[in-house]
Amino acid sequence: MKAYKDYMDKISVSEELHKKLISFTSKTKPIHSSAKFRRYVTVFACFVVILLTTIILKNNVTPGTNLTIPQLDNTNGKDEYSLILNKANYQTANDIYIPKHFWLDVSVDELHTLFPALIDQYSVTATANFQGNGTLFNIDARAITSSGSTAYIQVAPGEVILDYVIDGKEKKSDILGVPVTAAYFKVQSSTVYFASFKLRNVGYYVELSGGKVEEADLAAILQLIISGGAADLSIFNDPVIPELREDYLTINEAQKDSDFGVYLPKNLPSGFSFESALRFINQEQDYLSASWVNGMHYINWHITKICNDDRKRITSVSDIKNYDVSIYPIPTADSVPKKLQGIVDNPIFHINDLTLDVVKARAYKVTDEGDESGPRMRFSVLYGDTLVELNAKGVSPETIFKMIQQIKSQS
């Protein structure tokens, strides 16, 4: 097994992951950013360089530090600046943790300030991401050509958070006098091209992918951004901060929460001890969660107001195909019909409809060596417009049913 040892010896945690681990000491819990911040970018088209030069002069835009604008004589810009592409080994996880994250849509005027040259060629939309104290974290932008291809652009004060590892020694390209790190990696049959650079104290990251994307497309968009000069991020100073909470509570504090505290169970099965509770509010979510553990067994409670998306998962108890897990062999990813996967995964029952038989129909067992066995279950209960999602392992359906009924009498 020497080959195996040699292989493993060469693997180590990325700098990004290391930073995430160290961040625990700042008393914050890592969460994953929503899908809206994940980047999937497609094709890009060409642009007219002579026109670009005209735009720059017309707008009197100051380019990046020590920037010299060369005279470009081709009309599509694709061949003028060839990039030196590094090979990227892989992309690391895309999740970025922003403490007490909130975000604002970037207005058209702000887009003109951020991307003065790009905005004439592309349809650009962007979101400004802030930390809870109102500090700008970054700008997530998407630039779409008339043909529908999209580029993902990240702009950040200081440095952008990069999520790739260059294979070997990093080589720089020169675009309009600005050093640029450009790279690519293969994803199945397509190629992802990306680049990062700095203009003054502003970091940029641009990414393109899709079947017909070429490195020249990346070079073209880089020229447009760089020629626009360093973005003035001061326009995002002093944002209006929405209500934000990310508070770890004691069980007493959680039970006293005026919105959701009464929906927490008062009596837990013997052996279970309180682990943690979190009160979280941002622009999208408003919930209280709590968990209890007993060895490798657990009970998780998540309380929120029901939203329209959730309503699709409300089921009548007579419709057993929506929730009876005994119908579907594991792995359920293969056995549950696609259109039922959402509801079977986490059905919602009205509290007045819920019976012990329904709770029993949600319980399943998986035996696994190295783990403690016990029934598992996950479902949600609707009390008026308050939704309680519970997820448990190692607790009988009878006990769970009692806990749910107990809340009914409290609330």
Partner 1 sequence: MSFKSLHSEDFEEFIKKHENKIYRTALAIMRNIPDAEDITQETFLRAYEKAPEFESCDHETAWLIRVTVNLCNSYLRSPWHKQTNQLLESYSAKEPKQYELLENVFALPRKYRAVIHLFYYEGYSTKDIAELTRQKEGTVRSLLTRARQKLKLVLKEENHESI
Interaction site with partner 1 (CB under 8 A):
1-8, 10-14, 17-18, 20-22, 24-27, 29-30, 89-90, 92-93, 275-276, 296, 330-333, 345, 364, 366, 368-371
Q: Report how far residue 266's alpha carbon sits from residue 338's, in angstroms, rounded to the nearest whole number.
A: 37
- Give the shortest CB-331-to-partner 1 separation in angstroms: 5
- Give the shortest CB-52-to-partner 1 separation in angstroms: 38
- Give the shortest CB-298-to-partner 1 separation in angstroms: 10
If the CB atoms of residues 307 and 333 are measured against partner 1, the closer one turns out to be 333
Q: Report how far residue 127's alpha carbon sits from residue 118's, in angstroms, rounded to the nearest whole number.
A: 16
- Give the shortest CB-274-to-partner 1 separation in angstroms: 12
If the CB atoms of residues 93 and 241 are measured against partner 1, the closer one turns out to be 93
Q: Give me the residues paired with residue 197 across strands.
A: 180, 204
Q: Report how far residue 314's alpha carbon sits from residue 322's, in angstroms, rounded to the nearest whole number.
A: 9
- Give the shortest CB-133-to-partner 1 separation in angstroms: 20
Q: Is 239 helix (H, G, I), strand (E, B) or coil?
A: coil
- Give the shortest CB-104-to-partner 1 separation in angstroms: 28
If the CB atoms of residues 259 and 275 are measured against partner 1, the closer one turns out to be 275
Could you write out the DSSP letters of every residue in 84-139? -EEEEEEE-------TT-EEEEPPHHHHHHH-TTGGGTSEEEEEEEE-TTS-EEEE
If the CB atoms of residues 122 and 298 are measured against partner 1, the closer one turns out to be 298
If the CB atoms of residues 17 and 50 are measured against partner 1, the closer one turns out to be 17
Q: Report how far residue 11's alpha carbon sits from residue 15's, in angstroms, rounded to the nearest whole number.
A: 12
- Give the shortest CB-294-to-partner 1 separation in angstroms: 14
CA 206 to chain centre: 18
Q: How far is CA 315 from CA 340, 401, 406, in A?
A: 11, 17, 22
Q: Which two tokens stand for residue 149?
A: 């291809």
Q: Which two tokens stand for residue 252?
A: 């007493």
If the CB atoms of residues 29 and 311 are measured against partner 1, the closer one turns out to be 29
Omega before 157 within 30 of 0, i.e. cis: no
Torsion on CA atoms 245, 248, 251, 252, rounded to nearest 10:
-60
If the CB atoms of residues 186 and 266 are measured against partner 1, the closer one turns out to be 186
If the CB atoms of residues 158 and 329 are measured against partner 1, the closer one turns out to be 329
If the CB atoms of residues 123 and 190 are measured against partner 1, the closer one turns out to be 190
Q: Which two tokens stand for residue 257?
A: 């929460």
Identity of the residue numbered 231:
A
Q: Report how far residue 255's alpha carbon sits from residue 249's, in angstroms, rounded to the nearest whole number.
A: 9
- Give the shortest CB-21-to-partner 1 separation in angstroms: 5
Q: Which two tokens stand for residue 395?
A: 């607790």
What is the torsional sign of CA 159, 173, 232, 105? Answer: negative
- Give the shortest CB-406-to-partner 1 separation in angstroms: 27
Could you write out the DSSP letters of every residue in 8-77? HHT----HHHHHHHHGGGGT----PPPGGGS----------HHHHHHHHHHHT---STT--------SS-
Q: Say if residues 402 and 381 touch (Cβ distance below 8 Å).
A: no
- Give the shortest CB-360-to-partner 1 separation in angstroms: 18
If the CB atoms of residues 287 and 364 are measured against partner 1, the closer one turns out to be 364
